[in-house]
Structure 1
Amino acid sequence: MPLMEAKKGLKMLKEAGMEKVNFSGGEPFITQNGRYLGELVRYCKEELHLPSVSIVSNGSLIREKWFRDYGEYLDILAISCDSFDEETNREIGRGQGNRNHVQKLLKIYEWCREYHVAFKINTVVNTKNVDEDMSENIMSLNPIRWKVFQCLLLEGENVGKDALRHAEKFYISDDQFQEFLDRHKHVPMLVSESNTKMQNSYLILDEYMRFLDCREGAKKPSPSLLDVGVANALDQSGFDEAMFRKRGGEYKWSKADMLLDW
C-alpha cells in the first residue's frame, strides 16, 4: 500500500502496544530496490521508537548501499538458508540464477558485522535438506539465532488447487524433523519450531494490514485494521499468545542487547 498508509497502520499498532515488527514476504527488498522497506524500517525505529525492527529475506536483492542508508535503524536481519550445498539450494528453489546463494549469505554476514546489525539464519527443513548436517557452517557464522522450521503446508498458500506454489513434495514428518533437530542439538543458537508451535503463534499482517488467521490450515484475512481498528482486527487473527510464549517468541530482540553477545 502507499507508504503513508503503511506508516499509519504501523502507528496504530504501536499505539496498541506493538514492541517488535518483522518485515518478510515474499521478498521484502523487491519494492523500489529496498527503498520502500528502508523507509518503513527507519520510521519504525526513528519515529515509533520500537525496541525491535527486523527483516527476513532470501538475500538476493540486498546491496551494501542499503546498509549504508538504513542499517542503523535495523536490529535483526534474518537470511533464509536451507542448505550450504548449492545444488540442494537450487532443488529447493533458493537458487539465484548464476549467483551463489551461500556466497551471498557470507557477504551479507560481513555487512551485518560492519554496520552493526544482528545476523540471524532461518532454515526450513524439508525433504531436500532433512539429512544434511549444517552444524559446522552454523557454528562458524555464529548467528544470534538459528531458527529451524518444519515445512508447513497451508491451503491456498502452498497446497491445494488455488495455491501460489506447491510444497507437498517438500513436506516431512514430525519424526524426520526431530531427527534433524537431534543431529544439531549441540548447536547452542538453535531455536526449533514444529508445525504445532508455528501455525497460530505469529501475528501475521498481509499487504492490506489484515491479520491472517491460520487456525484452519489456511490464511483467512481479518478486516483491515485501517478500517476497523487494531482491537477489532486482532479479534479475528487466531493468535495463540500462550503458544507464542511457549515457542520462545519473546527474547532479547534489540540489537543494543544482542550485539553485546555477538
Structure 2
Amino acid sequence: MKKLNFSGGEPFLKPKYLAELLQYSKTELQLESVSIVSNGSKIERKFLEKYKAYVDILAISCDSFNERTNQKIGRGKGTHVHKITQISQWCQEYGIKFKLNTVVNKYNWEEDMNVHIEHLRPFRWKCFQVLILENENGGNNTLRDAREFVITHNEFQSFIDRHQQHTCIVPEPNNVMMNSYLILDEHLCFLNCTDNDKRPSDSLLHVDIQTALKQAGWDQCAFVKRSGVYAWSKNNNSCGSASSDNRLDW
C-alpha cells in the first residue's frame, strides 16, 4: 500500500483517534501519502500545527463560494468560505498540500469559481458530477434522496469548460467515478458500487486482501483514467498527473 485517505462522515469529529491513525500510517506503515477529506468545520489550527508531519494532503469539500448556495446544498451556516480560506493558509504555513473537492450539482453548475480558485491555489481540484446510487441516495426508502441535485453530462461539462484554465482541475463524471475508488468502511469491508449500491465485501479482519479485492468491484483502468496516480507526497510539489514521475509507476 502506498496511499491512504481518511474520509467519512467527518474525520475531525474524533480528532484524538484521527491523530493516532495519522501517526501510525506514517511511522509504522511508512506510507508515501496520508490524506484527509473534511468539510473543514471542525479543523483547528493547533491540530495541523501538531500533526503536520503526518499529513501529506488535506482536502476540503467546497461546493460553492456563494454562502446562500452552500446553505441550499446543506454545506455550513454561512461561514464555510471564510473557514476554507483560513485552512488553505494554515496548510501553506505547515507544508501540507491543500486540495479542494467540489460536487457539481443543480445548484452550482452555472457558478464561475475562477477568481476563488486562483486565490486559493489548490494543488489539486477534484470536480465530481453528483452521483446517484439507486440503493444509497436515490430515494425509495434510502436514508438520503439526492435526486433533486442531478445534472446532465452536458451541464457538468459546461462547468469543467468554464474552469479548464486551471491545471489543477481533475474532472470526474459519473462514468469515471463510479467504480474507480477502493473504499473501506468502518468494518474494513470494501464497498462495491457496481449494482447502484454500496455492497460490502468480506471484512479484511476475516479474509485475505486478494479475496476481498475480488469482491470490491474496483475498475483499475478507470482509476488510472481519472488520474488516480499522481504526485501525492508533500515532498513532491508537482500538480496534477504524475505520468512523468517514474517513482509512481505501478
Structure 2 length as normaliser, TM-score? 0.93
Trace 1:95-244 onto structure 2 (pairs within 5 A): 95=76, 97=77, 100-244=79-223
Q: Contact 2:231–2:239 at 8 Å: present in 1 too?
A: no
Amino acid of the structure 2 residue aligned with 1:19: K
Deviation at 1:259, TM superposition (A): 7.2
1:156 and 1:164 in contact (8 A); partners too = no
In structure 2, how many angstroms separate the alpha carbons of the residues matched to 1:186 and 1:65?
34
Select the residue among 57, 71, 86 that pairs with 1:90. Answer: 71
- The structure 1 residue matched to 2:36, chosen from 55, 67, 72, is 55
Q: Write out per-residue CA displacement over residues 73-114 of structure 1, whole angstroms, 9 at most, x where no aligned residue.
A: 10000000000000000000001x3x5000000111111111
- SS, match of residue 143 in structure 1: coil
Kindly tell me: are residues 203 and 258 of structure 1, through their superposed partners in 2, closer, same or farther at Cα, counting changes over 3 Å?
Answer: same
Identity of paired residues, percent?
53
In structure 2, the gaps of 5 or more residues are 241-250
Asked if residue 68 in structure 1 is aligned to residue 56 in structure 2, the reply is: no
Using the alignment, how far apart are the partners of 1:202 and 1:115 within structure 2?
A: 28
The Cα shift of 1:165 comes to 1.6
Query: How many residues align structurally?
Result: 240
Measure the CA separation in 2 of the matches of 1:87 and 1:45.
Answer: 39
Distance in 1 between the 2:124 and 2:146 partners? 25
> CA offsets per residue over residues 160-192 of structure 1, 9 Å max, x none?
333222110001111110111111111221110
Measure, in 2, the Cα distance between the counterparts of 1:35 and 1:112: 20
Matching residue of 2:245: none
Output the CA distance in 2 between the equivalents of 1:244 and 1:56: 18
CA distance in 2, matches of 1:74, 1:38: 10
Question: What secondary structure, in the 3-state scheme, does the structure 1 residue paired with 2:53 have?
Answer: helix
Unaligned runs of at least 5 residues, structure 1: 1-17
Q: Of the two structures, which has the highest relative contact order with CA contacts closer than 8 Å and spacing of 6 or more?
A: 1
Deviations 1:31-62 (A, max 9, x none): 2xx11111101110111110010011000011
User: 2:224 matched to 1:253?
Assistant: no
Shift of 1:260: 9.6
Q: Secondary structure at the match of 2:100?
A: strand
Q: State the 1:228 CA deviation.
A: 0.8
Structure 1 contact 116–259 (Cα < 8 Å) conserved: no
How far residue 70 of structure 1 moved from its aligned partner, in angstroms, is 1.3
Residues 163/258 of structure 1: CA separation in 2 closer, same or farther (3 Å cut): farther
- 2-structure distance, mates of 1:260, 1:228: 37
Partner in structure 2 of residue 12 of structure 1:
none
